[in-house]
Amino acid sequence: MNMDWKKIGGGLILVIGVFAFILSISNNNLNEALIYLTATLIIWVLYGLLMDVFDVRVFSCVISISGFIVALSIFFMFGIEEVPHPVGAVIFHSGGIASALGIVFFSLFPVLIMYLMNSKTLPRLESIIKNGEPLTEPEPESDDWELATEEELQSNEWDIA
């Protein structure tokens, strides 16, 4: 049973911070909840850097999930309000809804950046640089070729094999 205790410690930090956030939100104390969440994220990042287990992909996911949780909290605290008459009626407040949607929008950025970094259309860093040295040009498969001169390149009278 091989457990990575360093990663378990980081996860424990996040769980404790989210638990403190939920307790503060349930008491309608958004400021204290945001302090707990921000302090938890800072401590978690410092722990990951000190223990050499920091992963940018996990960081981007945690930041996005944190943003979604904050947006959900703001939506339910400031975006909707239950009124006593008629029974079960709900009033929607545009300021709270706009704030929640803005936070959701900005919380998508880390996930989108990670998606673009893993996309196959962008050149990967490993293919550009290998062991600190630039990669050399690939050798052609046949010997039936010659270098184009500057005049031939500018004349556009050449074929790409």
Whether 96 shows a pLDDT value over 70: the answer reads yes
Whether 48 shows a pLDDT value over 60: the answer reads yes
The reported pLDDT for the residue numbered 87 is 83
Each domain of the chain, given as residue ranges in start order, spans 1-54, 55-122
The residues pairing with 133 across neighbouring beta strands, listed in sequence order, are: 130
The reported pLDDT for the residue numbered 137 is 63
84: DSSP letter = S
Q: Cα separation of 15 and 13, whole Å?
A: 6
The reported pLDDT for the residue numbered 119 is 73
**Average pLDDT of the chain to the nearest whole number:** 85
Q: Which two tokens stand for residue 120?
A: 């196959």
Three-class SS string for 142-153?
A: CCCCCCCCHHHH
The reported pLDDT for the residue numbered 153 is 75
